[in-house]
Chains A and B, each alone.
Chain A
Amino acid sequence: GQNIDQPTEMTATEGAIVQINCTYQTSGFNGLFWYQQHAGEAPTFLSYNVLDGLEEKGRFSSFLSRSKGYSYLLLKELQMKDSASYLCAVRDGDYQLIWGAGTKLIIKP
């Protein structure tokens, strides 16, 4: 079966760096997405990786290793507003989007 794994919850301190991991097992691969979802709100797009390597976008970076079925989202200079759930999603060989359950990130002062 197809599976996306990410930690259920993580805690970090304001101003610090946090890495949220995502591992996947899918039938084929056509890209990996990260979305941010604040409590009670809709998911919003953060990043897209289809080739191996690091994509940097301001304080957020996303890394992909297709051979390892692994990605991470790196958040630098954490701010209180970064408290949210982070959803990993993989587009499989049939271009179907498979979603992880999300990682709830708690930022403490």
Chain B
Amino acid sequence: IAGITQAPTSQILAAGRRMTLRCTQDMRHNAMYWYRQDLGLGLRLIHYSNTAGTTGKGEVPDGYSVSRANTDDFPLTLASAVPSQTSVYFCASSAGGGDEKLFFGSGTQLSVL
């Protein structure tokens, strides 16, 4: 593994189903983030974690949950998917602090039907 790995790459999901998007990083970064990207909109933060064991809500957290049991993993769960959650999801990490840049995973294209 080098950098951030997301899985799956793409998924088609029936509405009402539960889904977990996986994210793993090997850079020992403290901070991790989940964003969604929709056409014509900027990246929107769903949830974040500044360090293992802590999580926080972003701009659009409803319908999503996260956990941060260790430094490397930051899964995102949709408890009961709805069509408005159709989007491209990016996991990102940063070393933590003020001016550091984000490193992004390759993204998950999720379609909820």
In the bound complex, residues from chain B placing their C-beta under 8 Å from that of A26 are none
Pair A45/B98 contact, Cβ less than 8 Å: no
Q: How many A-B residue pairs have CB under 8 A?
A: 45
Q: Mark A56-75, 1 if CB is under 8 A from B, else 0.
A: 00000000000000000000
**Number of B interface residues, CB 8 Å?**
16
Pair A101/B107 contact, Cβ less than 8 Å: no
In the bound complex, residues from chain A placing their C-beta under 8 Å from that of B41 are 101
Main secondary structure of the interface of B (DSSP, over half): loop
Distance, CA A83 to CA B95, complexed state (A): 29
Q: Mark A67-109, 1 if CB is under 8 A from B, else 0.
A: 0000000000000000000010101000111111110000000
Contacts A41-B106, A42-B90 given; indicate if A100 touches B99 (C-beta within 8 A). Answer: no
Contacts A101-B41, A101-B42 given; indicate if A42 touches B101 (C-beta within 8 A). Answer: no
Distance, CA A30 to CA B40, complexed state (A): 25
Distance, CA A91 to CA B107, complexed state (A): 22
Instruction: Give me 12 A-to-B residue pairs in the complex whose CB atoms sit less than 8 angstroms apart, sorted by A's number.
Output: A4-B42, A42-B104, A45-B101, A48-B99, A48-B101, A87-B42, A91-B99, A96-B45, A97-B45, A97-B102, A99-B43, A100-B42
Measured CB to CB, the residues of B under 8 A from A are 40-45, 90, 98-99, 101-107
